[in-house]
Amino acid sequence: MQPVSQHTRLIKEIAQRLGFSYCGIAKAMPLEEDARRLEKWLHQGMHGKMKYMENHFDLRIDPTRLVPGAQSVITMLMNYFPDERQSPTTPKIAAYAWGKDYHSVIKTKLHELLAELQEKIGAITGRGFVDSAPVLERSWALRSGLGWVGKNGNLITKKNGSYFFIATLITDLILDYDDPFAKDYCGSCTRCIDACPTDAILPDKTIAANRCISYYTIELKDQLLPAEAQGKMDGWMFGCDTCQTVCPWNRFSTSSREPAFAPLPEILNLSTQEWMTMTEENFKKIFKDSPLMRPGYKGIMRNLQFLRASD
């Protein structure tokens, strides 16, 4: 077996051992078409007050700007679909946030992957990214043959739906490349568009992020949520899974086997009243390793008060 094929197989073996469900590889190159689409989306103001999305535009569209000499973009998916369900009396929280913050969990695994590759292959350069860096991860997942981008903006796999975190490793290692995912299996289905509580999913596969409940409850830092969201939050305190819940492809979702994503009991069981009376000290103690620290105690209390006012 040639070194390129050996290295490719090694990467996919390590990724599987680290708990990634899928691993695909694409040749590193500028994403010209994606660049034009992103530029138009930003120009239309659909990112709302997420000004960070305007930064580092050149880095987002060209992996060689992130890793000089980049040859390959490795994309991996990690399942977070939970076994459990929230109590009907607790405010709704998107399933990705039920356990430990995925950034720290997956970054650790990416460091392990790169370290093992350097040990077994030699002096290679690479950088791992999880969601918080200027990488068009869904575009790379599609180019790596892992799935298609649905009408709801999520990457969807044909075998297991969309409850996955996307991790990216850009490296200067030349590898065998997977064929891009060629087909869109959403077809004429509009369930996500019809079900979105705030009409944030547009018919042309555009997501108006500035109208998304996840944007309101996590990204928006204003002291008050906008009046146009009144009565449309559908009980969501943090994030929103509506467009995934109604997606027919998620009937194939299987439970995550990553212990770090096991749900905190409080997320499954606390009533609205128990959330409202929680002290900031207890909040920080219980959720210190949770994505709920993103909006923080004040943001969560703001969201709860808005939900209560909408009742």
Catalytic residues, by residue number, are 131
Rounded to a whole number of angstroms, the CA Rg of the chain reads 20
Query: First CA to last CA across the chain, in angstroms?
Result: 64
The number of beta carbons lying within 10 Å of the beta carbon of residue 277 is 10
Sign of torsion, CA 108 99 137 47?
negative
Partners of 225 in the beta sheet? none
Distance between CA 308 and CA 272 in Å, rounded? 9
If you count them, how many residues does the chain have?
311
